[in-house]
């Protein structure tokens, strides 16, 4: 699938992986619509070819409008789900049991939000004209290696990301008849603002645990993988770990 002359939608585009992806897709010739919470858009980088749209992935109307806006300029071909939150809490912590509303919030943003964007983007992509090979578009989701090796305090986050991994194959199967591929990236530890609260010392210890390369991943490496998935017609229904062979320990 070629990017030139298409429209792409990226959620969580004001920061980290989403920002790098929006920039990469725009550099590839796409017209990119970068969605994020209105409160976060002030901090979004100014990038040629990227239009920012305030949208909360937990709000269906926001996403419906953003999809329509993206499709207005050029055929929507790509949707990338990067919006996410990663709070940590133990099931039985010092302050009491896990906040059940927090659990529901994490699942609502990371899992239900991803599914909402996938469904509404797929509906729009399915209405476009297929190319000569029957291709219409690609959806890329973001899970985490926590889907497989959730650490202490990650029950909510790992549940939400496990759901994203789980939806990948059935979504690809459902959408195959429309020429839409669905893949998921499960990153290890990427140097993004999500790690801002982590001390330099802890960051170094995280990097030391990565077999090779012995460092944290860069957002640009994630964005490059998105571009590869978009261009590679035979990648479908798969979750790809991008983690330098890291396997997380319990803590
Ligand atoms: N950074 C890592 O090490 C890492 C590892 C594995 C997975 N991930 C996943 O990658 C994705 C991107 O993370 P990041 O590291 O770039 O984090 P980030 O905090 O830099 O960016 C996430 C963006 O999502 C936005 N967002 C949050 N809730 C939203 C909502 N309801 N609607 C719209 N936008 C919303 C935030 O405002 C923010 O701009 C997340 O899903 C995260 O779980 C990150």
**pLDDT digits over 133-175, tens only?**
999 999 999 999 999 999 999 999 999 999 999 999 999 999 9
* 113-123: burial string, b at 16+ Cβ within 10 Å, e else: bbbbbbbbbbe
Alpha helices, H only, the chain: 16-27, 60-73, 100-107, 113-126, 146-149, 155-175, 200-208, 219-231
Q: pLDDT over 70 for what percent of the chain?
A: 100
Identify the pLDDT of residue 125: 98
Does any ligand 1 atom lie closer than 6 A to the CB of residue 239? no
Q: What is the mean pLDDT of residues 184-208?
A: 89
Determine which residue's CA is closest to atom 7 belonging to ligand 1. 144
For 165, residues 6+ apart whose C-beta sits below 8 A from its C-beta are 143, 147, 148, 184, 186, 239
C-alpha to C-alpha distance for 188 and 190, rounded to whole angstroms: 6
Does any ligand 1 atom lie closer than 6 A to the CB of residue 13? no
pLDDT tens sequence across 30-53: 999 999 999 999 999 999 999 999
Which stretch of DSSP H or E encloses residue 6? none
pLDDT tens sequence across 66-124: 999 999 989 999 999 999 999 999 999 999 999 999 999 999 999 999 999 999 999 99
- Can you say how many angstroms the Cα of residue 232 is from the centroid of all Cα atoms in its chain? 18
> To test the ligand 1 pocket, which listed residue (11, 13, 17, 248) has its Cβ within 8 A of the most ligand atoms?
17
pLDDT tens sequence across 207-251: 999 999 999 999 999 999 999 999 999 999 999 999 999 999 999
Q: Which residue has the tokens 């195959």?
A: 176
pLDDT at 196 over 90: no
pLDDT at 19 over 80: yes
pLDDT at 197 over 80: no
Does any ligand 1 atom lie closer than 6 A to the CB of residue 83? yes
In the numeric block, which tokens belong to residue 239? 């979750």
DSSP at 154: B
Of 40, 49, 42, the C-alpha closest to 194 is 40
Cα angle vertex 60, ends 114, 144, to 5°?
A: 10
């Amino acid at each position: 699938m070629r990017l030139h002359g298409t429209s792409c939608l990226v959620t969580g585009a004001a920061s980290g992986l989403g920002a790098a992806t929006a920039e990469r897709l725009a550099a590839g010739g796409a017209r990119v619509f970068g969605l994020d919470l209105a409160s976060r858009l002030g901090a979004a980088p100014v990038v040629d070819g990227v239009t920012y749209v305030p949208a909360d992935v937990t709000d269906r109307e926001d996403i419906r409008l953003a999809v329509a806006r993206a499709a207005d300029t050029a055929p929507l071909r790509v949707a990338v789900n990067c919006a996410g939150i990663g709070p940590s809490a133990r099931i039985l912590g010092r302050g009491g049991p896990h906040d059940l509303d927090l659990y529901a919030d994490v699942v609502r943003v990371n899992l239900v939000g991803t599914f909402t964007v996938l469904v509404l983007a797929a509906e729009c992509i399915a209405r476009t004209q297929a190319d000569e090979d029957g291709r219409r578009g690609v959806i890329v989701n973001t899970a985490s290696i926590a889907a497989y090796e959730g650490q202490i305090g990650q029950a909510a986050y790992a549940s939400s990301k496990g759901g994203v991994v789980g939806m990948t194959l059935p979504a690809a199967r459902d959408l195959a008849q429309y020429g839409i591929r669905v893949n998921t990236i499960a990153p290890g530890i990427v140097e993004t603002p999500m790690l801002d609260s982590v001390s330099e010392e802890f960051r170094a210890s995280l990097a030391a645990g990565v077999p090779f390369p012995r460092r944290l991943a860069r957002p640009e490496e994630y964005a490059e993988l998105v571009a590869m998935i978009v261009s590679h017609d035979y990648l479908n229904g798969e979750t790809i770990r991008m983690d330098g062979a890291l396997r997380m320990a319990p803590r």
